Amino acid sequence: MQTVTLDHLTKRYGGRTAVNEISLTLGEGVYGLLGANGAGKTTLMRMLCGILEPDGGRILYGSSDIARLGEDYRAMLGYLPQDFGYYPDFTALEFLRYMACLKGLTRTEADHRIPALLGQVGLAGVGKKKIRAYSGGMKQRLGIAQAMLNDPSLLVLDEPTAGLDPKERVRFRNLIADYAKGRTVLLSTHIVSDVEYIADEILLMKQGRLLQRGTVEQLTAAAAGQVWTLCTDEATAVGLERVYTVANLHHTAGGVEARLITSDPPAGAKAAEPTLEDVYLAHFADEEGQ
């Protein structure tokens, strides 16, 4: 399979740099893109899909610039934006047949792919139902199906699990883990658990830059000595949130167990094994809610 290379990729909006000199190579497997709102994840994905032109740098598919590949590149690409467009009076079957036509699939290819995909995303029994009657989670699953319709070798998914319940998210993770064999999947999400168990590599993006990358094991190992637990009383627990990044407060009959992310723990704290969520909070707690 071909690799995808981002070479000093940059995008600016007025005086703000949304994506700043990002260079990386994506090969086979699942890449989880994590970052707070405004980190530049969506802008990066839109450039990767050819929707936005970079102000600097380039994107290569194999050894060819995607700007020169044009339709040949788009034929190998599947994309689910945060808010994908659909026709509410279409049924799922009609919508996917329409999308298949736009993607250049033959009638035979569409007739083969559509029923299989509807089954994979759990919509097999409601394919003839109008999309306007779908729940938010069902619409999102339909969006995932349309992104995979042309059997792309590069699948780009921007917040694909928004609106999915826990059972649907498990189905999605299993689907993506199977699909990524021999392909490249880039998945952006705010839900750390969506990528923790299926991503071959995690990409942490902050303020337009690639902050850190590595496997879950590498990133959590690098956070050793930064995560602590402290058993304390209710009043002290309230004060901790003013001083430390608090990942969790667990109230028990004997008091409160606080999970803290800090390099300077309070007296009595015990070292804890870091998780990917701890790594995320260590980097982005100061940006959440902005």
Residue in 156, 158, 207, 269 with CA at minimum distance from that of residue 36: 207
pLDDT in tens, 87-129: 999 999 999 999 999 999 999 999 999 999 999 999 999 999 9
Mean pLDDT estimate for the chain: 93
Q: Region 69-98: what's the mean pLDDT?
A: 93
Average pLDDT over residues 232-253: 91
What gap in Å lies between CA 203 and CA 31, rounded to an integer?
7
97 near 110, Cβ under 8 Å? yes
Helix, strand and coil in the chain, % to nearest 5: 35, 30, 35
The percentage of the chain sitting over the pLDDT mark of 90, rounded to a whole number, equals 81
* Alpha helices, DSSP H, located in 148-233: 166-179, 193-196, 216-222
Q: How far is CA 130 from CA 5, 93, 97, 139, 251, in A?
A: 40, 9, 14, 11, 46
Confidence of residue 19 (pLDDT cuts 50, 70, 90): very high
Q: Cα 155 to chain center, whole Å?
A: 11
The pLDDT tens digits of the residues spanning 133-147 come to: 999 999 999 999 999
For the segment 62-85, the average pLDDT, to the nearest whole number, is 92
Global pTM value: 0.92
> Tokens 């319709």, residue?
149
pLDDT tens figures, 175-224? 999 999 999 999 998 789 889 989 999 999 999 999 999 999 999 999 99
Confidence label for 288 from pLDDT (cuts 50, 70 and 90)? low
